[in-house]
Structure 1
Amino acid sequence: MDERRDHDHALMQAYVAGDAEAFRVLYERHRGGLYRFILYRVDTRHTADELFQETWSRVIASRERYRPEAQFRTWLFQIAHNLVVDSYRRKRPQASGEENERILQMQAADEGEQPECVLSTFEQRRRLQLALEQLPDEQRTVFLLRMEKGLGLEEIATITGCGRETAKSRLRYALKRIRELVTP
């Protein structure tokens, strides 16, 4: 993992020096995970699209201030997290069950799954999505950063601006609640 961290750092430094190709590589490497992280935290694809674009715009605008103390992805997700929080502050969204169901159906179709598997996979995703919606925002954020991106507690604490033990506690409560809600 250190190799990837070093490579991301080198790419960011190259981008700061004017290498647009380095930015393209960083974007390709992190766009999927970043988009999913944002999408699971907001109420519509439109909002996710806007926040995704704004995150990358902030990366571009603040490239001169990038410091390699943390991993690039930690810095990137911290920017996205702050934008999501700001979005909630401006307008506290209420997730629509219909919208989430539509998104999950589109994802299943996009993945080209066999028809007999789609329903089972869709039901599992639907249960998980509904369970995620019921978590407090702080727990949902920690859960997604851990499960979606595989981040450690230190990185999660940095991104969310809380202590390591607080992040650990939030993750523990999120996992417990998800198990209760997902298990039939």
Structure 2
Amino acid sequence: MYALAPPRHGTTIHLESDHVKTEEDLIQASLTGDGGAYGVLVKRYQDRLFNAMLHVVGSPDEAEDVVQDSLVQAYVKLHTFQGNSKFYTWLYRIAFNNALSRQRRRRNELSIEQSREITGSDPVDRHEPPDESMLRGERVALIHRALELLSEEHRSILILREMQDTSYEDIAEILSINIGTVRSRLSRARIQLKAQLENLNSDP
């Protein structure tokens, strides 16, 4: 039987509820206490969610933590799922918000460390995570640097559309905005990203 805490990324799950096929059936079974049914949902979506979060946070270890936390959170909040969107869209929204919260905390911690460094405390180790250069080379690393310079709302919408190929409808659902706002915000975000890339490319 599948326990509340989801398995680590890549773990093979063997469940008694594998005969349940439809997403709606799996959700209903989970709500009645069938942990195995939720395990099937995890098995179905965890790899896709991991790959999506990897684009957001840039670190495999952190992406795995985001996925694990979000799957547990989704289990606890499953009774709030109304079925107005796809289950994966709802799950992605939970994970995406968790990832952004982690990044905000990390930036705050970095700001504290920088302040300590300026005041004479021990130097801070600023090694970047082992990420883009191994995965996609210098061009992607430059894009991620440019993304970090954007506002959170513009960075979020670019990740969803350009990196995850998320539909406008799903972006609207995830970010709680209308389709018109998706289009206008995406247009502004692309302009800002282009400007940041030009600035980075012009740096000596």
Show structure 2 runs of 5+ residues with no match. Answer: 1-20, 111-124
TM-score normalised over the length of structure 2 = 0.63
Select the structure that is richer in helix. Answer: 1
Q: Does 2:119 align with 1:104?
A: no
1:76 offset after TM fit, Å? 0.6
2:155 corresponds, among 96, 116, 140, to: 140
Find the aligned partners of 2:179 and 2:126 in 1 and give their Cα distance: 32
CA displacement 1:73-93 (0-9 Å, x = unmatched) = 111122123323444555545
Note the 1:44-55 alignment, pairs <5 A.
47-55=62-70
The within-5 A match list for 1:76-87 is: 76-87=91-102
The letter for the 2-side match of 1:128 is I
Secondary structure of residue in 2 paired with 1:69? coil
**Distance (whole Å) between structure 2 residues aligned to residue 125 and residue 85 of structure 1:** 20
Look up the match of 1:171. 186
Conserved 8 A contact 1:139-1:170: yes
Partner of 2:144: 129
Cross-structure match for 2:43: 28
Describe the superposition over 1:94-120 as per-residue Cα deviations: whole angstroms up to 9, x where unpaired.
6x98524x21245x3xxxxxxxxxxxx
Q: How much does 1:61 deviate?
A: 0.7
- Could you list the per-position Cα deviations for residues 39-68 of structure 1 after superposition, in whole angstroms to 9, with x for gaps in the alignment? 443475554443322211111112223221
Task: Indicate if the aligned counterparts of 2:55 and 2:163 stay in contact, CA closer than 8 A.
Answer: no
Aligned twin of 2:73 = 58
Query: How many residue pairs end up in the alignment?
Result: 165
Q: Which has the higher contact order (CA 8 A, sep 6+)?
A: 1
Q: Which structure would you say has the larger Rg? A: 2
One of 75, 98, 107 as aligned partner of 2:90: 75
Cα distance between partner residues in 2 of 1:70 and 1:166? 19
Query: 2:177 pairs with 150, 162, 175, which one?
Result: 162
Shift of 1:163: 2.8
Looking at structure 2, the residues matched to 152 and 8 of structure 1 have their Cα atoms a distance apart, in angstroms, of: 20
TM-score by length of 1: 0.68
Counterpart residue identity of residue 90, structure 2: W
Secondary structure in 2 matching 1:126: helix
